Amino acid sequence: MTSDSDDLERQLRENLKLRRELAAEVAKAKGANKGSGIAYRLGWVLYWICLLLALASGLYVLGSMAGAGILSLIAAWMSALALYGIGRAFRYVLSVE
């Protein structure tokens, strides 16, 4: 009976060792994919470009409030929001978040 329990214990230890090794490899693979590659960098670059364009559109709205009609102000704000949304979409799709 003792040899059966020793065999079982040895098998369990070996199983735990294999699980730890597999977990380490998975963690290493996930870490390697995060933040690397041209698509990741391109996603961030496009995000910041769209964010700057959205900021410029918002500043245009603030600068032109005196003589502009309400429809042009709404259109400027909508373009700012659209540019922000497009930038977020680029970052989400290309940066593998």
pLDDT digits (tens, 9 = 90+) for 18-71: 888 888 888 777 765 555 678 778 878 888 888 888 888 777 777 776 666 777
pLDDT of residue 34: 58
Question: Do 95 and 53 share a structural domain?
Answer: yes
- What is the span of the domain harbouring residue 72? 35-97
What 3-state class would DSSP assign to 3? helix
Q: How far is CA 82 from CA 21, 30, 43, 58, 63, in A?
A: 46, 32, 17, 12, 20
pLDDT of residue 79: 82
pLDDT of residue 35: 57
- Please state, in angstroms and rounded to a whole number, the distance separating the CA atoms of residues 58 and 74: 11
Question: Do 41 and 26 share a structural domain?
Answer: no
Question: Do 28 and 4 share a structural domain?
Answer: yes
Question: Do 95 and 85 share a structural domain?
Answer: yes
How many structural domains does the chain have? 2
Question: Do 69 and 48 share a structural domain?
Answer: yes
